[in-house]
Amino acid sequence: MKLTSNNIFSSKIYSPRIWDPERNFVIQWHITPKCSGSCKFCYMFDSPGYKKEVEEELNKEQCLSIVDKISNYLEDKNLKGNFLLTGGDPILKDGFWDILEMLQIKKMKTIILGNAKLLNEENVSKMSLLGVDHYQMSIDGNEEIHNYFRGEGSYAETISKVGLLRKYNITSSFSYTISSLNCGEAPALILRAPMDKIFAIRYSRLVPIGRGEKYSKDLVSPEQYREALIKMYSNLSKIFLENNYPISFLSCDPLRTIPLLEMPQFMPNYFRSIVFTKKGCRKNLMTILPHGEVYVCRRLNIPIGNILEESMEELRSHSLVRKLEDPLSFKECLDCKYFKYCGGGCPSVTYAVKGDPFRKDPQCWVKS
C-alpha cells in the first residue's frame, strides 16, 4: 500500500498505538506548590496565582473529597480515570500517601510527574505498593544544559533514579521542554534511551508563562521546530532498528504528527512504538491547581472554575471547554490539509504568544 497523508493512520501495517480520548479522562493535578527545585522556566513560580496557590493550598480532606467527586463522575460516564499527580514536587504534599491510597481504592491509574531529588528505596517501594504505574522526570538536554536549567547535579541525580524505579516495577520517562536553547539536544536524548532503559520520551514546547516569560525570545522558530522533530523521528527509527528498542514517544502536541504526514514513507518501521495523542486538550483533559482552581491545560492560562465549588458537569460545560472541542473554533486552520490530524496546533503556546488560543499556532511551519 502506498502511504499518503489520507491513509497513514488507517494502514494496518503501520498503525500506531493511539491514545483513545473518548474512553479516557486525564486529570493533571498539581497537589502542592511546595518544591525543592527552582527550575529556570517553571510555570508555577512567578505566575500571577502563585501566592494564592501557597496560601490557599487544599488540605488532605479536601483532596480526598476531590478524588471521590471525580471518580464518581467518571464511573457515571463510563470513563477510565488517569491521574497525573504533580506539583511542585508531589511527594512534599501533606497527605500524599493517603491520596495515593484513595486513588488505588477507586481504581484510578496513577502516574507521577515529579522530581528525582527525594526518591529513595523507602518511598519508591511504597509508591509501587500503592499502585503508581509510571514516574516522569525532566531532562532538558545534555548534562551542562540540563543543569543550567534545573540546578547543579540534577542531571546525574535524575538518570540515577531510573534503576531504582525499575527495581520496584515503576516505568519511567524523561520529559523535555523544547526551546531554541536546547532543541539541538532533544534528538540526542532519544539515542540514550536504550542505555538508560527508559520507557518513554515525552516532550512539550516551552510556553512563555510564569518564570518562562523571561524566555519568550527563546521560543523555537517554526523551521527549527520542524528540523528538531525530523531528527527526533530519525533517532527513534535508529534505536528501533539497531537496538530493537520500541520506546514510546509521548506528547500532546498536535504539530508533532505533521512531519510524518508530510513524508508518509518516513521511517515506518518504528511506527507502532509511537503513541499518538489524537486530541490533547480538545477532549477529556482537566488540570487542577493546589488551591482547587481548574484549567483545561496547565499551560493554557485561563481558569474555568474551582473543583470544590462547581460540579464536574458545570466544569465540563464551560464555554472554553466547548470551544476547544469544536473544530470550527480554529478558523485560521480550517483550510489546512492537515487539520483533521492537527486540529489547529497548541492553544497554550498560541494564547501565550498571540493572546488568543484560537489563532494559528505561531510555531507551525505549514502554509495554510
**In the complex, which residues of this chain contact ligand SF4 (CB under 6 A)?**
204, 252-254, 258, 280-281, 285, 297, 299-300, 333, 336, 338-339, 342, 344-348, 360-361, 364, 366, 368
To ligand SF4, the closest distance from the beta carbon of 12 in angstroms equals 26
- Rank residues 267 and 366 by Cβ distance to ligand SF4 and give the closer one: 366
By C-beta, is 100 or 352 nearer to ligand SF4? 352
Q: For residues 200 and 140, what is the distance between their CA atoms, to the nearest angstrom?
A: 14
DSSP string, 155-166: HHHHHHHHHHHH
Q: Is 9 helix (H, G, I), strand (E, B) or coil?
A: coil
Residue nearer to ligand SF4 on the CB measure, 134 or 166: 134
Q: How far is the CB of 173 from ligand SF4 (least distance, A)?
A: 16
CB of 359 to ligand SF4, least distance (A): 10
Three cell numbers, residue 210: 510564569
What is the end-to-end Cα distance of the chain in Å, rounded? Answer: 28
Q: Which of 194, 84, 185, 107 is nearest to 140 (CA)?
A: 185
CB of 365 to ligand SF4, least distance (A): 8
Q: Which is nearer to ligand SF4, 70 or 255 (CB)?
A: 255
Minimum separation from the CB atom of position 204 to ligand SF4 (A):
6
Nearer CB in complex with ligand SF4: 102/333:
333
Distances (CA, A) of 363 to 89, 112, 205, 256, 306: 30, 29, 10, 11, 31
Identify the CA nearest to 263 among candidates 44, 1, 8, 56.
8
Q: Residue 36 forms beta bridges with which residues?
A: none
